[in-house]
Amino acid sequence: MRIGATPGAEFVFDNEKWAHEVDLEPFALSAAQVSNAEFAAFVEAGGYEDRRLWSDAGWTWRTEHDAHRPRYWQREDGGWLARRFDRWEALALDEPALHVNAHEADAYCRFAGRRLPTEAEWEYAARSGSAQGADRYPWGDAPARQGSVNFGGEFGRPVPVVSLPEGDTPTGLRQMLGNVWEWTSSAFAPYPGFAPDPYSEYSQPWFHDHRVLRGGCFATRARLVHNRWRNFYLPERNDIFAGLRTARTLRA
């Protein structure tokens, strides 16, 4: 398949240039983002203390920060509270896991018997299955109807992972765009033939040590988000509106 942007009238960032072929093995992607209830099961099963679930870099991060739960969670009266801006409130179990970093996302996937998707798998899933040849958005090429995707602060927070079916892909994947950023397993790297745009510091300094995220979040402006947009952060960042969706390889 081809991933990346093609030359045209629409603005693209330099790290999206240009479309190129990649090989993919058969895989499956979870229909929804991982929920707080699912992530809480990992925490309560001792996932943060199980060395087998963590990469070397992830375990180093966990021990250095003495992490035993997501950054903005705390236990109270047998339940979980989550920090929402300036207050603590009961953890919304049906909303997506939020403020988890790439190391935590990786460990959760091992706990669940899954893995993070590569960014090529993520883009393929977002773009495939449309009778209209969905290229810009998972549901097609027309902008989303207001209220059908969680962009631009319209809802003010993440919504339950089962919400907003109007934004589904034709193959039934929900909230591929919006709600929370989704970690991938891919290092942020240049596409073949990369050349920096006039603002050369946008992408080039961050190649190889950052991790790619896809999809946008509830706070992202709608006009920015599309299937090919690449975000990138250091894998230890857990202060961003990021969660995850899981994948698995399909064996013949």
CATH number at residue 186: 3.90.1580.10
3-state secondary structure of 41: helix
- At 128, the pLDDT band (50, 70, 90 cuts) reads confident
Looking at the 3D structure of the chain, how many domains does it have?
1
Vertex 185: Cα angle to 179 and 187 (nearest 5): 105
Residue 227 clears pLDDT 60, i.e. is over it: yes
Vertex 96: Cα angle to 177 and 128 (nearest 5): 30
Which residue is listed with tokens 């460990």? Answer: 107
In a domain, 77, yes or no: yes
Residue 66 clears pLDDT 60, i.e. is over it: yes
Residue 2 clears pLDDT 60, i.e. is over it: yes
In a domain, 229, yes or no: yes
Q: Measured between alpha carbons, how far is 208 from 220 in angstroms, rounded to an integer? A: 24
Write the CA distances from 244 to 8, 17, 74, 117, integer angstroms. 31, 25, 20, 9
Phi then psi for residue 5, to 5 deg, are -85, 155
In a domain, 15, yes or no: no
Torsion of CA 65, 246, 3, 24, to 10 degrees: 120
Residue type, 31: A
Please give the mean pLDDT across all residues of the chain: 95
Cβ 228 vs Cβ 5: under 8 Å: yes
Q: How many CA within 13 A on the CB side of residue 86?
A: 0
Tokens of 15: 């790290």
What does the chain come to in residues? 252
Q: Measured between alpha carbons, how far is 28 from 30 in angstroms, rounded to an integer? A: 7
Query: What pTM does this model have?
Result: 0.96
Q: Which domain holds residue 240?
A: 2-6+24-249
In a domain, 176, yes or no: yes
Give the mean model confidence (pLDDT) for residues 79-99. 97
**Percent with pLDDT over 90 in the chain:** 88
In a domain, 17, yes or no: no
Residue 135 clears pLDDT 80, i.e. is over it: no
